[in-house]
Amino acid sequence: MTQTTTRPNMAQQALVLLSVCLAAAAMPLTFTGPAVALPVIGRALGGSPIALNWVTNAFMLTFGSSLMAAGALADAYGRKRVFLVGVGAFVVLSMALAVAPDILWFDLGRAAQGVAAAAAFSSGMAALAQEFDGPARIRAFSIVGTSFGVGLAFGPIASGLMIDAFGWRSIFGLVVALAVLAFALGMRALRESRDPEAGGLDWSGAISFTLGLALFTYGVLLAPERGWTEPTVMGLLAGAVALFIAFGVIERRVARPMLDLTLFRYPRFVGVQLLAAAPAYAFVVLLILLPVRFIGIEGLSEIAAGRLMIALSAPLLVLPIAAGLLTRWFSPATICGVGLLIAALGLFWLSRISTGGESMGVVLPMVLIGTGISLPWGLMDGLAVSVVPKERAGMATGIFSTTRVAGEGVALAVVSAVLSALTAGHLAAGGAAANAGAAAQRLVTGDLAGATAATPQIGQAMLLQGYGAAFTTLLLMLCAVTVVTAIVVFVFLGRGMEQASEPAEKTEERLCASQA
């Protein structure tokens, strides 16, 4: 049994939930804000296209790769302790980013901020699993999902307004305010709890996984500039494969693994992980790519782009809670599968909207994408916790959140590389073969002026046409992947529902026996 103090009253539970919700609302602001500000950050701090890509990827990479380790730390050393340390560090680093002198320090600060965010998020979600049981837990996780949606929905417009009024460095002000409130409430209301069977952090597993993910993401980011067969790129990707293999070997041998690989034998657990990755390419990459397109390519203001982005994220304000209520009549497999198919339909519709056309034409397909993603969004965290014993809730949220956020970082790197390659191909076909790669990288980061300077022989109209055609192809690819994921998630989540708790219990028995 998890070590805790006496059960809290309803008022204390509400304060715990509010603390975690405030932290959850702050997280999406840390990548939607810089996405909206990316063109102006590039002008202010300079940097190559790769350096500007790391403004977003540095946070997502360290956030995603640290979540499992953070969850294990929370289980071993105390969820409240890790939550407060994580939120406190998040506040300090967010303030430091506001005064970063150049792009190198900014990217390094983003990487450190991701580690702090991972500690806050994993421990906060694990703490909620100790405070609530049964239907109350499902509702609590749905509310957290809605809080995350609030950050996504209002992050772009809030960032646009602050950039317009106070400059890009002000985008971290709201993040700091929410995190400070989360820290204060957590200090007062959270009870300390830990897993008494935890034996400390699996350091070898944590290091091999984190380095493997870092090498893979860096290799994918370098590929558009240097080519997939360039020795450095191939070396990075080969190193990533070797480290992931080493991670698998380590996790099978340690008594208390950070990631219990035996859970992947069960269809429902695999379905939950696939569900965790789905929003990465059906939704999250658009939170980064669309503001760059609206501001850097189509010439909209930050405020106008922020207003458009509300269409994508606004459904997350309501529908995650509604999805929790729908479980009274429909299975999670049905809700999640239908939601992903709706998102795929929205992606297809958005692909029909040409770049540079009427800006309001993108609103309805963006609403459809957001609606589709919102249905599984409110169920995902609760499903993740349901597949392992309560005492290992930190591991469960760590695995699930790692799959989700690491998937987002990897998806963004891969999608950016694909968009760059597609754009370069169209530009080369249009007569800019010599500088097509350099121009494409500039376009992907929203630097239309830089792309025009790199290819004066074809003009801005051809650049926009090439980028638009590439964006259309990319959206169709994302649509196809989302449809396949919807089918697989529906099948896997629908299997083994009665057995879901039994494997987790047997897994825990096996782990305890190996320690005895």
**pLDDT tens-digit map of 8-44:** 577 777 888 888 888 888 877 887 778 778 778 888 8
Instruction: State whether 169 and 26 are in the same domain.
Output: yes
Chain Cα centroid distance, residue 461:
34
240 assigned to some structural domain: yes
Confidence of residue 5 (pLDDT cuts 50, 70, 90): very low
For 357-368, what is each residue's pLDDT tens digit? Answer: 666 778 899 999
Those residues whose C-beta lies under 8 Å from the C-beta of residue 342, and which sit 6 or more positions away, are 368, 371, 372, 375
Rounded to whole angstroms, the Cα distance separating 511 from 422 reads 48
Full domain range(s) for residue 74? 11-191
Q: What angle do CA 272, 472, 304 make, to 5 degrees?
A: 90
The predicted pLDDT at position 511 comes to 34
Rounded to whole angstroms, the Cα distance separating 116 from 12 reads 25
For 305-314, what is each residue's pLDDT tens digit? Answer: 878 888 888 8
376: left (phi over 0), alpha (psi -120 to 50) or beta: alpha
SS3 (DSSP) at 387: coil
Average pLDDT over residues 283-304: 82
Instruction: State whether 246 and 317 are in the same domain.
Output: no
Instruction: State whether 41 and 122 are in the same domain.
Output: yes
Is the per-residue pLDDT at 1 higher than 50? no
Is the per-residue pLDDT at 504 higher than 50? no
Rounded to whole angstroms, the Cα distance separating 82 from 126 reads 11
The predicted pLDDT at position 387 comes to 54
What percent of the chain is helix, strand and coil (3-state, nearest 5)?
85, 0, 15
196 assigned to some structural domain: no
The predicted pLDDT at position 91 comes to 92
Counting residues of the chain whose pLDDT is more than 90, the rounded percentage is: 10
Counting residues of the chain whose pLDDT is more than 70, the rounded percentage is: 80
Q: Out of 230, 257, 284, pick the residue that ends a domain.
A: 257
Instruction: State whether 157 and 299 are in the same domain.
Output: no
Confidence of residue 238 (pLDDT cuts 50, 70, 90): very high
Distance linking the first and last C-alpha atoms of the chain? 17
pTM of the model: 0.71
| CATH number, residue 62 | 1.20.1250.20
Instruction: State whether 111 and 227 are in the same domain.
Output: no
197 assigned to some structural domain: no
Average pLDDT over residues 217-246: 83
Instruction: State whether 404 and 475 are in the same domain.
Output: yes
For 62-107, what is each residue's pLDDT tens digit? Answer: 887 777 778 778 877 888 889 999 999 999 999 998 888 888 898 8
Which one is predicted more confidently, 462 or 340?
340
Q: Out of 191, 222, 243, pick the residue that ends a domain.
A: 191
The predicted pLDDT at position 388 comes to 54
Q: What is the Cα gyration radius of the chain?
A: 22
| Domain count of the fold of the chain | 3
Q: What's the chain's average pLDDT?
A: 77
The predicted pLDDT at position 475 comes to 93
Q: What angle do CA 219, 225, 228 make, to 5 degrees?
A: 50
2 assigned to some structural domain: no
| Strand spans (E) along 115-233 | none
Rounded to whole angstroms, the Cα distance separating 84 from 227 reads 43
Confidence of residue 505 (pLDDT cuts 50, 70, 90): very low
Instruction: State whether 60 and 99 are in the same domain.
Output: yes
For 245-256, what is each residue's pLDDT tens digit? Answer: 998 888 777 766
Confidence of residue 349 (pLDDT cuts 50, 70, 90): very high
Q: Burial level of 242, CB count in 10 A (0-12/13-18/19+)?
A: middle
The predicted pLDDT at position 171 comes to 85
For 111-166, what is each residue's pLDDT tens digit? Answer: 899 889 888 888 887 788 777 776 677 677 767 767 776 776 677 778 878 888 88
Instruction: State whether 151 and 222 are in the same domain.
Output: no
Of the ranges 119-128, 283-292, 345-354, 390-399, which is most confident?
345-354
The predicted pLDDT at position 386 comes to 62
Instruction: State whether 123 and 234 are in the same domain.
Output: no
